[in-house]
């Protein structure tokens, strides 16, 4: 048998049991930590950046939400007719 391949097989055989499992656990731990940090940054990054921006005198990056008023929403006419005009004369 090729002695170099035998050497490789010995290396592979040495990488079993606790050594193999231990490294896998360490990798999993590092991946979980990276995932946790990434999710923290994803959640709070924009808010933190906005806070810093406002504290340093800038404007908030978040768009101001506008709500339709009650009267505007009532004006929606599905038939395209103009809204009813108020009466010209005041009936006393």
Where on the chain is the footprint of other proteins (CB under 8 A)?
A: 2-8, 10-12, 14-15, 19-20, 23-24, 26-28, 30-31, 34
Please count the other Cβ atoms lying within 10 Å of the Cβ belonging to residue 40: 10
Contacts of 59 (CB under 8 A, 6+ apart): 53
Closest CB to other proteins among 2 and 73?
Answer: 2
Cβ of residue 75: shortest distance to other proteins, in angstroms? 47
> Minimum distance between the CB of residue 47 and other proteins, rounded to whole angstroms?
25
List of residues 6+ apart from 75 with CB closer than 8 A: 83
């Amino acid at each position: 048998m090729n002695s170099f391949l035998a050497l490789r097989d010995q290396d592979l055989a040495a990488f079993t049991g606790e050594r193999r499992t231990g490294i896998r656990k360490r990798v999993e731990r590092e991946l979980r930590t990276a995932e946790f940090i990434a999710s923290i940054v994803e959640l709070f990054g924009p808010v933190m950046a906005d806070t810093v921006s406002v504290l340093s005198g800038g404007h908030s990056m978040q768009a101001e939400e506008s709500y339709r008023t009650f009267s505007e929403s009532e004006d929606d006419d599905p038939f395209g007719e103009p809204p009813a005009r108020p009466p010209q004369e005041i009936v006393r």
